[in-house]
Structure 1
């Protein structure tokens, strides 16, 4: 029954979740037979990822389009904000064209609407004197002067994705970042951004990021621009519903939204003529309008975190590797030269640890004996420097050009090589690599130079004195 049911599940993330969840439930039941338990214990392969990262050209086109759209909106809103600030400060002469434009912007900022006729037959029509200075009654002439449109908000979301690698569910839940000056008082603005991700499990939904705006390329500059572009929308929403702290707010051109409507996060999707966040449908519509094949958020986030940031984005390192990096074709392709470079580094390391002592047929009477070789120039060590005497480890004699190896050393070194090989299975592998691997590699090199026959004979000739000396060396008794 288990095998039949497992085969009936689709090869998707949902099917994988169903199989692993039910398996975990059944394995806890003591009534499960041994045969059934063995069947349940078989590995469940994770489904092949169908979603892959975007190609560089496509991702760059998406980001460029979003940046162009949001930049135009930001400049439009900040220019009109400057006009409104001058009007409120009394810069313009009363009744002038500039003054009338400022008064229209003030009404728009306070109510979300340009000054309009309230008479029944003309209700909703912008008053003629204001329509003239605004340039018309269309949205681009009236409310778009101070508020983002729905599609411009999508563009802002795409930029947040490209900058920080956040997914759509996090972006649409963003609260208004809190800004505070640094310790100097006049330094760059530092924003505290609260991130919420329900998929991380109970108790781990929330985290914060500190983003600093100290220049055009800094991570906090986009936050500053987003705050400037949404300042009037946030103020208007706060008037309608005090305490609302949503970051991404846009104005609708249609009739007032249902205040009780909720988005996919379970929160209000808007109030009055203002909408909150970005829906999946809106993201798809934005992509279609701009000539792209699909919503930029899912594949875009994979692209940012695997190819650009190359680090987890609100995931564990294991999840990042298993779900995002290892399943992505571009990551695999990019890994080829990295793996090749690492392999070359290993070869270089091996060459750096080769046997460097000189081989001799017999001992030189002027050499000084050590535990592993004879030293030809004790006073000029390549490790310590000239004139100071050598205090390096006896294992480093195998890598020293001052060392001399002759047949009297063969049995001792063959036994040391054998002992290091045994030691590898007796201690933690990382410790062996850090302390003994280089010495073992040099002895392997020496073994290759002497030949198998000489090495086998040397192992057979190992004396009690050789064993005792090597035991003292490995135990650290010769270090002093």
Structure 2
């Protein structure tokens, strides 16, 4: 099935796909998803003929997975850089099997320090690894070296930045939507005959009818060859908003709509070039809302997984689907005109161009149907931002902001979400500092609960009170006071008390206690042991490390019968504090 649900047409009998590599071994033809072809002539590269053919063969092998000329063009640029590097060597090799590890080390050193260089290294490596002669040996080992991941060059918007961009886009698109809606209502009244003939509104309705059918207002041709809008006084001016813009979005207004859609849904910019008109899904019993089915295209997901459908509901002014409704209303006349000029056209993102299009060079994007253009290009985003004083194109940063705020993958994998969007983003890092700090404090507090909390001394203090495990300096200031006064802690909890003092006389009993608790692990099972004994064991291990393993082990030889009796009572929890 195709992406729109139509049955795929089988090729004629005996059909064979043309190989991408020409018989001369120098020209590679790449066919994009739309069926357009583009040639790449490797005879243009400044390297020897055998090297040209080897690179062309690797390029052709890699091209079988490409669906766009943009991918091919990116690889072509990198191949050109590699060929230029080779031609600049004192003794350039004639073919790939003449490459040396030293040459590839120099190539790596020249590019490893920048993001663009890392991308160049990665793409050229992918091509070179297509050649079986480089599957083993020193050059293969050099190619296999890890290339560090590029540092993301963009980051998500701070809230104030985002609000400025969105407010700019909202003002521009809303003004266009209101303008088109007002003129659409006037046109509908004219078509239904509800306006008095020859009135001002009737004359405007007649002009709007001409505009809807042709994409332009009536114009007067002057002897100089210049065409000017007729009825300028009636229209109120000659600018787009007063003429054909009454029913059509300008490119800038379409870009503003795309900015709002990206902020709302986190869609990729390339999605807008071929986004079909959303369809409506049935809503049982619903009369006040409408649910749109929006087809989302994900080229990088791999063959067979390019398309998914998102259900978006318009249930009121603040609902996500309201923007889809407004987009449909703002593009209605342009879509109707596109359908009449090019039957079958059903793309949502369409605008009216200021002037007839030049030669269509970007064959990955839909061809214009004069005077209409489809989708939003990188250049349109840059021009829009520049004309509104916003710096660079907003799409990458806006998408990154939406993805990180949403906190889940949008049209990408969980790994990409974490490694590309969340972890490297400086805004996310700044926002996480408080969480990390709180976590560190909590971890520190938890660590303190499982270490020996008292003091280690060389000899007993006669003023301290002896307990079953330690000597107590002051039971009245216990962290665990009893209701009737004094200390209410278990004797094992003495090891966590700051009032505790341990001297060498305690070592035999505590070492024996440590040994006995360890023996309980196999008898109780991990869960029961963890719940009852793990904290006490960790404190004893911390105390052992402070005393020293050698002294701790030697103390086991001095364990008395009294020590064994007390430890047995402690382990059985028969010894009251």
User: How high is the TM-score relative to the length of structure 1?
Assistant: 0.71
Paired position in structure 1 for 2:385:
287
| SS of alignment partner, residue 241 of structure 2 | coil
Distance 1:245 1:348 in 2: 62
| Alignment match, 2:366 | 267
TM value normalised by structure 2: 0.61
Query: Is 1:74–2:177 an aligned residue pair?
Result: yes
Distance in 2 of aligned mates of 1:99 and 1:240: 27
Give the Cα–Cα distance (whole angstroms) in 2 for the partners of residues 157 and 273 of structure 1. Answer: 20
2:396 aligned to which of 298, 311, 328: 298
Give the match's secondary structure for 1:140: helix
Task: Summarize the Cα distance change of 1:135–1:321 in structure 2 as closer, same or farther, 3 Å threshold.
Answer: same
Counting only pairs closer than 5 Å after superposition, residues 215-230 of structure 1 correspond to structure 2 as 215-230=316-331
Q: Structure 1 pair 436/337, CA: closer, same or farther in 2 (3 Å)? A: same
Does residue 162 in structure 1 map to residue 263 in structure 2? yes
Provide the secondary structure at the position in 1 that maps to 2:240. coil
How far the C-alpha of 1:163 sits from its partner, in A, is 0.9
Q: 2:126 maps to which residue?
A: 21
Query: 1:38-437 maps to which residues of 2 (within 5 A)?
Result: 39-116=142-219, 126-128=229-231, 131-254=232-355, 256-257=356-357, 261=360, 263=362, 265-268=364-367, 270-306=368-404, 308-347=405-444, 361=468, 414-417=515-518, 420=521, 436=530
SS at match of 1:271: coil
Instruction: Report the more deviating stretch, 150-159 or 188-197.
Output: 188-197
1:280/1:264 CA distance change after superposition, 3 Å: farther
Structure 1, residues 360-410: CA drift from partner, whole Å, max 9, x if none? Answer: 749xxxxxxxxxxxxxxxxxxxxxxxxxxxxxxxxxxx99xxxxxxx9999
Residue 330 of structure 1, CA deviation: 2.1
Q: Is the CA contact (8 Å cut-off) linking 1:6 and 1:19 kept in structure 2? A: no
Unaligned runs of 5+ in 2: 1-99, 453-465, 470-491, 494-507, 573-577
Q: What is the aligned residue count?
A: 413
CA distance in 2, matches of 1:280, 1:69: 19
Structure 1 residue 413 displacement after superposition: 6.8
Gaps of 5+ in 1: 363-397, 400-406, 424-430, 474-480
Q: What SS is found at the alignment partner of 2:308?
A: strand
2:264–2:320 CA contact under 8 A, matched in 1: yes
Do the aligned partners of residues 452 and 415 (structure 1) sit closer, same or farther apart at CA in structure 2, a change above 3 Å counting?
A: farther
1:16-39 deviations in Å (ceiling 9; x for gaps): 42365257557x879724x66655
Cα distance change of structure 1 residues 271 and 316 upon mapping to structure 2, 3 Å threshold: same
Q: Given the superposition, is the C-alpha separation of residues 37 and 154 from structure 1 closer, same or farther in structure 2, using an over 3 Å criterion?
A: closer
Q: CA deviation at 1:309?
A: 2.3
For 1:264 and 1:62, the matched residues in 2 are separated by: 30
Rounded Cα–Cα distance in structure 2 between residues aligned with 1:127 and 1:232 = 21
Residue in 2 that maps onto 1:441: 535
Provide the rounded CA distance (Å) in 2 between the counterparts of 1:434 and 1:77: 72
Contact 1:108 1:114 in 2 (8 A): yes
Three-state SS of the structure 2 residue aligned to 1:194 is strand
Is the CA contact (8 Å cut-off) linking 2:177 and 2:330 kept in structure 1?
yes
Kept after mapping to 2: 8 A contact 1:175/1:246: yes
Distance 1:294 1:438, change over 3 A: farther
CA distance in 1, matches of 2:110, 2:560: 66
Q: 1:442 to 1:155 in 2, by over 3 A?
A: farther
Residues 145, 25 of structure 1: CA spacing in aligned structure 2 closer, same or farther, 3 A cutoff? Answer: same
Kindly provide the CA deviation profile for residues 274-309 of structure 1, in whole angstroms up to 9, marking residues without a partner as x. 111112222211111111221112233223323x22
